[in-house]
Structure 1
Amino acid sequence: MKYILNDEYIELYKLLKVLDLVDSGAEAKLIIADGHVRRNGEVELRKRAKIRSGDIVEVADVVIEVS
């Protein structure tokens, strides 16, 4: 799955919400806090991590390429 940035970055929990991978921002924050999200191969626990062009975010079996 590809996501094209309109700004310099998007916060991680907002990315999950925009792509309809979660039902709410609260759910996005929970799965991030529980360690279910990887960014560039590393577990990302920061809900507001700045996701920039070139990052790869993985949630369960979904891989998001940000450009």
Structure 2
Amino acid sequence: METFKLQEGEEYIELNNLMKILNWVASGGEAKSQIDEGLVTVNGEVETRRRKKLRSGDKVEYGSEAAIIA
């Protein structure tokens, strides 16, 4: 499992941006379709909001990938 550290002063990162930064998807369009299809979970629940605000302690899973926000 990866750990994604928020930048100092940053309270959250949006789900679609996290997927791009971690190279889980090649583009924003791909992130959108994967999220819309219900293939991403946040804290064990299917998440379909592309701009879901992820905060410290949240766990994101996508296929065989997983990350925790720190």
Give the structure-1-normalised TM-score: 0.97
1:4 maps onto 2:5 in alignment: yes
Q: Which runs of 5+ in 2 are unaligned?
A: none
Structure with higher Rg: it is: 2
In the alignment, which residue of structure 2 is the partner of 1:64?
Answer: 67
Structure 1 residue runs of 4+, over 2 Å off? none
Deviation of 1:47 (Å): 0.2
Percent identity over the alignment is 48
Aligned residue pairs, count:
67
TM-score normalized with structure 2 length? 0.93
Q: CA RMSD in A?
A: 0.5
- Counterpart for residue 30 of structure 2: 27
